Every structure is written in C-alpha cells, then in structure tokens.
C-alpha cells in the first residue's frame, strides 16, 4: 500500500464537514475560519515522549491530539481542525499509521475536530507524530497566560502528580471545562499543566509579571501517587511531575470564592491552591507555604535542554 492508498483509506473514514470546503487530497486544505483563530502544534517523538511498545499506537495517536486539545483548552477555545504529520518506520508503518489514526479519530469525534490534512513519510528513524490544531476563541476572547494580578486566587481543575502511571496517555483534555469556566467567570489567566505545576505556574507568573505562593496542604494529589510509592514525597510529585493536563486558573478573589463555593463545572472539583502577589524586585517568584512556614520554590519540571 502506498501513501496514496493510505490517504484514500483516511478519506473514507473522514466524514464530510461543512467547515471544510476542501479536505484531504489537494495541495492544501481549505477551512472556514473565524476572524481570530487559535493555532497550536505539538510533536511527539518515540522514546522521548512515549514508549511505543508500552503505550501502543492507538494511545499514542490519541495523546498526540489530546496534548493539542489541552493547549486549546488553556485558551478557553473551541477546537476545530487538525493536521497530522507522521514519520513512520519503514517496516510496519502502514499498520502503525492506521492505529494512530484510529486513536486520534476517537478523540476528534468526541471534540468535533475535523482532520483536514497532513503528511505521511517513512524513514529509518523512530516514530514521529506531529499534530497542528486550529480552534476559535469563545466569549470575551482567548485567555492568555499574562493576565494574573496580585491578589488573584490560583485554582486548579483536578488532582496532580503520578501522571506517568497512565493519565499522561489517557487524560481527557479540559476543553469543555475551560469553556464552562470562561462563560461563568472572568478568567484573568490560564495555562495547562504539561511541564509540572511549579514550572507551568512559573510560566504564568513570568508572563503576568506576578509572584505566587502555593499552599502545600491544599494541593490535591492524584491517587496514582499513593498507589505507586517511591522515595519522593507525594507533595514533590504534585509539584513537579509533568503531564497532568489540568488547568491552572487565575481569578479575582470574589470570583474564586464563588467558584469554590458553587463548584459550577460538572465533573470538576475546583480547588484553591494559592494566590498571586506582586513581583519581588521585578522578578516573578514562586513560594511554597506549609505548616512550617514559607520558602522559595524552584521549578524543576520538564524542560527540554538544548545543547
């Protein structure tokens, strides 16, 4: 089977979509777009971002779309259309591509995403899956990282840590929850937790020019952490493990209090885990408060080192 036959196979599985005047099979796709589009891209690499034998190709395909959906969620956007590029090993590439697609398709259907294009290659290297996702903003527009203000409350949409034991592959991106939050409160800033709570909170603080203090005892810790005890404390896992794909949200104290009291988002227990403060000497700083007092917190979640 050639790349072209694979594209035919894809086409048969791609439902027509009124938003997509021109889908798979021309030099470009054509998509009806709103005045402002959200666009994100993520590349998953075998051995670095997933272990193919352990995860299986369906879950890898699912994850490749899910991480992009989580980015659209972090802007409170509606996902619309995806392009999927594959670097396939020469042997078994076709079966792999089909499984990847089926994993992606499931999530695409669940979130109304049209798969409109891509590029399929084979090579002597490992599996590469690159997805670009387009979406549109909702309500008052995209929720950026840069709008947190001193005094704001920091909320999180779910428990943290231990994602490596399964959630990093099987999480449901918080797309609907983000839209519901955006419709019910003035979200000052938002980010999804992909690199770890401390690291992503640091990103948000830097973008907002704020410091933040986390409350150690308030942090919701995922059951997977207790189920897989190791030499690190549960708190350490919640602070620094990556790929929780929960949302961190900055809101005014009044909105925060209301959200915590009324818990208006179905399926989500919003938890207040900290508060924003002015930058200290021009620097956005993280601090952690526990029963013994307050100390600086160094982000040490996942950041790709480049040499």
Residue list 110-129, contact with its own copies (CB under 8 A): 116-126, 128
- Give the separation between CA 297 and CA 287, rounded to whole angstroms: 5
Site map for its own copies, 139-158, x if CB under 8 A? Answer: ---x-xxx------------
What are residue 250's phi and psi, to 5 degrees?
A: -105, 125
Place of tokens 């947190």: 148
Please identify which residue in 52, 94, 110, 221 interacts with its own copies, judged by CB under 8 A.
Answer: 94
Query: With contact defined as beta carbons under 8 Å apart, do 23 and 61 qualify?
Result: no
Please identify which residue in 191, 238, 249, 265 interacts with its own copies, judged by CB under 8 A.
Answer: 191
Please identify which residue in 72, 113, 156, 265 interacts with its own copies, judged by CB under 8 A.
Answer: 72
Query: With contact defined as beta carbons under 8 Å apart, do 58 and 95 qualify?
Result: no
Which CB, 185 or 189, lies closer to its own copies? 189
Closest approach of its own copies to the CB of residue 83, in Å:
5
Site map for its own copies, 194-233, x if CB under 8 A? Answer: -------------x--------------------------
CA 243 centroid distance within chain: 8
Q: By CB under 8 A, how many residues form the interface with its own copies?
A: 79
Sheet (strand 153-156) strand order: 189-192, 247-251, 153-156, 271-278, 210-215, 286-290, 293-296
CA distances from 122 to 93, 97, 224, 229, 267 (A): 7, 10, 37, 41, 41
Which CB, 283 or 295, lies closer to its own copies? 283
Could you tell me the sign of the dihedral formed by the alpha carbons of 135, 140, 142, 143, in that order? negative
Stretch that binds its own copies, among 86-94, 106-114, 148-156, 270-278 (CB under 8 A): 86-94
Which CB, 120 or 163, lies closer to its own copies? 120
Q: Does 37 bind its own copies (CB under 8 A)?
A: yes
Q: Does 71 bind its own copies (CB under 8 A)?
A: yes
- Give the separation between CA 180 and CA 280, rounded to whole angstroms: 33
Query: With contact defined as beta carbons under 8 Å apart, do 221 and 161 qualify?
Result: yes
- Give the separation between CA 307 and CA 304, rounded to whole angstroms: 10
Stretch that binds its own copies, among 84-92, 103-111, 156-164, 233-241 (CB under 8 A): 84-92
Q: Does 78 bind its own copies (CB under 8 A)?
A: no
Closest approach of its own copies to the CB of residue 261, in Å:
28
Which CB, 47 or 296, lies closer to its own copies? 47
Which CB, 123 or 186, lies closer to its own copies? 123
Nearest 5°: CA angle at 198, between 143 and 265?
Answer: 45
Binding positions for its own copies, 226-285, rule CB under 8 A: none
Closest approach of its own copies to the CB of residue 288, in Å:
21
Binding positions for its own copies, 16-35, rule CB under 8 A: 21-22, 25-35
- Give the separation between CA 275 and CA 155, rounded to whole angstroms: 9
Question: How many CB atoms lie under 10 A from the CB of residue 265?
Answer: 20
């Amino acid at each position: 089977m050639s790349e072209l036959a694979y594209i035919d196979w894809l086409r048969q599985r791609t439902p027509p979509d009124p938003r997509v005047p021109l889908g798979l099979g021309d030099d470009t796709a054509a998509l009806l777009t709103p005045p402002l589009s959200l666009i994100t891209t993520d590349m998953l690499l075998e051995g670095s971002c997933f272990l193919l034998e352990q995860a299986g190709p369906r879950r890898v395909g699912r994850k490749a779309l899910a991480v992009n959906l989580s980015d659209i969620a972090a802007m409170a956007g509606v996902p619309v259309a995806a392009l999927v590029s594959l670097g396939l090993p020469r042997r078994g590439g076709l079966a792999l591509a089909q499984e990847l697609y089926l994993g992606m398709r499931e999530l695409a259907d669940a979130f109304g995403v049209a798969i409109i294009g891509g590029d399929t290659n084979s090579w002597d290297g490992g599996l590469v899956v690159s997805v670009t996702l387009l979406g549109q903003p909702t309500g008052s527009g995209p929720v950026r990282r840069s709008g947190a203000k001193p005094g704001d409350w920091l909320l999180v949409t779910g428990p943290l840590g231990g994602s490596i034991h399964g959630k990093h592959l099987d999480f449901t991106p918080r797309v609907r929850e983000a839209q519901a939050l955006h419709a019910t409160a003035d979200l000052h800033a938002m980010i999804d937790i992909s690199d770890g709570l401390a690291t992503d909170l640091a990103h948000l603080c830097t973008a907002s020019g704020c410091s933040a203090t986390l409350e150690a005892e308030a942090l919701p810790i995922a059951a997977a952490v207790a189920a897989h005890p190791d030499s690190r404390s549960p708190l350490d896992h919640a602070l620094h493990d990556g790929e929780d794909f929960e949302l961190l949200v900055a809101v005014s104290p009044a909105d925060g209090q209301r959200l915590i009291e009324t818990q208006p988002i179905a399926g989500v227990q919003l938890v207040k885990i900290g508060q924003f403060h002015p930058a200290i000497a021009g620097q956005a700083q993280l601090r952690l408060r526990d029963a013994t007092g307050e100390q600086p917190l160094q982000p040490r979640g996942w950041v790709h080192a480049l040499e």
